[in-house]
Amino acid sequence: MSTRRAEEEAAATLARLGLDAEALRAGRVDVVRVAPLMAGSDAAALAAALGELPSPAVAELLAALEPHARDRAARKAIRRTLYRLAQRGVPRPPPPPTAPPPARAAEPVVEGLVSAVDGRGDRLVWLLRALPTGGSLLVTAQLNEPEGLRDVHAAELGRKALRALRERLEREAGLRLVPAEWRTLDALLVEAHERAGGGERERDYLRVRPRLTGEPPAAASEPVSARVAPAGAEESAALVAGSAALLGEREFETWWPTPEAAAPFAGEIAAARESPLVVSRLAQEDRLREILRRTARALFPPAVLARRLAGTAYVLAETARPAAARQALAVAGALAARPEDAADIPFVAALVERALAGLLARDSEEQRGALVVTPGQFLRDRASSRPGRTRG
């Protein structure tokens, strides 16, 4: 078929579709006008007819029509026509710019605050998200090691109310909150929620979490302060050896077991003291040491104590006490590595001594000169042989 005959048939096809061949060749027909035809049954015929109008305007129109093609066959027809036009000297136009992906909504800015761990294993976590209307959404949670989430609450507060609440906590409860990476705290709360079993509204963190973030939670781990560098093996051993000094830090003032928990072990020591059997000092110390080991495992389980120390070490570091933080981390590492030797760590031994000292205070003065040492004397002798403690 001659070129002229092909162009005439193409013009007739285009006319049947309501299009003017000369207007198309001159670029006076836009893609909006032609696009609906690419979704119909005449898509292939339209593409073939346009291929008989060799002009850059037609090539650009074809390239713009490809995204509107209804199926694979129509798209192939357009590409075939563009190839034919290129053979006739009409350069293939560059593909139309792709639309940028829709902008992802920015995650809301969240702040995190955390307290040290107290004697019951509790600590407070705050997560705050700024609200577009002013003020902040405050999520407060109390989590326990090892029991998990104790309670969680959400409220919208203004800056003044937030500042007053934080000052009141520090003034009346001695509870100091320090900034921490909110994603780390969020992960701890998700873990604590799962350990506590969720369910109850007051303990359901996942109920309020969507108001803070839509991100998946990270893996749970204790916050790590950039102010403290990891200690080497030799330095860690020295830090552990002097760790009884940690009891001078105010964060450890409440690290006491309940009298009910300590009483059975104090009773064992009292029974050993009152035994009518006279044994050597060495034998009595061995018996006492075995009781103290069991006391340490029961009152201060190594895994629980290690995690409480790691959490408190972060607060120590963030409140300008890096030396104490390093010591707490060294003890936590020793507990994790050698839980069976926990009672031999000076910090743990000092905790046990402090827990039992009041219950053993009834040791009589006359025992001072006795040949057989009493448990109370044994504890006091061990305490007095340690370096003095400093308060931070």
The confidence score (pLDDT) of residue 370 equals 37
pLDDT at 37 over 60: yes
Taking the C-alpha atoms of residue 392 and residue 67, their distance in angstroms, rounded to an integer, is 70
* The pair of three-digit structure tokens given for residue 64, joined into one six-digit string: 């713009």
Task: Show the domain range for 48.
Answer: 3-87
Residues 240 and 374 in one domain: yes
Taking the C-alpha atoms of residue 231 and residue 238, their distance in angstroms, rounded to an integer, is 10
Q: What percent of the chain clears pLDDT 90, i.e. is strictly above it?
A: 40
Who contacts 50 (Cβ-Cβ below 8 Å, separation ≥6)? 10, 14, 24, 58, 61, 62, 81
Taking the C-alpha atoms of residue 115 and residue 178, their distance in angstroms, rounded to an integer, is 6
Could you give phi then psi for residue 122, rounded to 5 degrees? -95, 150
The confidence score (pLDDT) of residue 190 equals 94
Taking the C-alpha atoms of residue 309 and residue 327, their distance in angstroms, rounded to an integer, is 9
Amino acid at 135: G
Q: Nearest Cα to 261, choosing from 352, 144, 344?
A: 352
Residues 250 and 342 in one domain: yes
How many domains is the chain partitioned into structurally? 3
Q: Is 244 inside a domain boundary? A: yes
Helix (H, G, I), strand (E, B) or coil at 137: strand
Q: Is 219 inside a domain boundary? A: no
Identify the residue with better confidence: 36 or 56. Answer: 56
Across the range 328-353, mean pLDDT stands at 93
Residues 77 and 116 in one domain: no
The confidence score (pLDDT) of residue 103 equals 52
Across the range 91-112, mean pLDDT stands at 68
pLDDT at 202 over 50: yes
Residues 16 and 155 in one domain: no
Mean pLDDT check: name the lowest of 2-16, 100-114, 128-142: 100-114
Q: Is 171 inside a domain boundary? A: yes
The confidence score (pLDDT) of residue 153 equals 92
Who contacts 131 (Cβ-Cβ below 8 Å, separation ≥6)? 137, 156
Final residue of a domain: which of 159, 177, 211? 211
